[in-house]
Amino acid sequence: MSYRICFVCTGNICRSPMAESVFRARVEEAGLDDLVEVDSAGTGGWHEGDGADPRTVAVLEENGYDSNHIARQFASSWFSRLDLVIALDSGHLKALRRLAPCPKDAAKVRLLRSYDLTATDDDLDVPDPYYGGMDGFEECLEMVEAASIGLIAAVQDHVEGRAA
């Protein structure tokens, strides 16, 4: 049985597809691609069916990550098939927890930067780069990469514990 993770931001064209691509690479590097499924979505459906923002694609490709993506909206029915829902900022965290059908599902929602050992508790949001320049997308990638180190360790511990 696979461990399923979904990264969620606002429109699923900037932060969450970036996190999905980076984390999928970490999963493959860890040799867990047969055990862990990685996905992403948005809290809203404004960009459903669109590809990732061209700036997201550029930053991902410049750094050796896959940029193949089609945006979609998160649905509350997904909670039943997911093990972990990763919010990119506190607004997404609140929206997803409200969307959760039960407390057990709400407990599956975590902030991505809570896995970054260098982040402070008052600075756990990955800022939305959409209205800025390329530097915002590069900063977003740095935050996602840093948090992915702690997240892959947590997922690996969980998966290995489940398999034992």
Task: Find the catalytic residue in 33, 50, 66, 128.
Answer: 128
- Active site includes 128? yes
Which amino acid is located at 19 in the chain?
A
> How many Å apart are CA 158 and CA 164, to the nearest integer?
10
- Active site includes 9? yes
Task: Find the catalytic residue in 6, 9, 14, 140.
Answer: 9
Give the residue carrying structure tokens 């992403």: 40
- Active site includes 98? no
Count CB-CB contacts under 10 A for residue 149.
13
Count CB-CB contacts under 10 A for residue 82.
18
Give the residue carrying structure tokens 């991505």: 112
Contact by Cβ (8 Å): 110, 86: yes
Enumerate the H helices of 31-87 as residue ranges. Answer: 54-62
Q: What are phi and psi of 83, to 5 degrees?
A: -95, -30
Count CB-CB contacts under 10 A for residue 66.
14
Task: Find the catalytic residue in 6, 14, 15, 125.
Answer: 15
Which amino acid is located at 90 in the chain?
S
Q: Quote the tokens at residue 102.
A: 């039960």
Residues known to be catalytic: 9, 15, 128
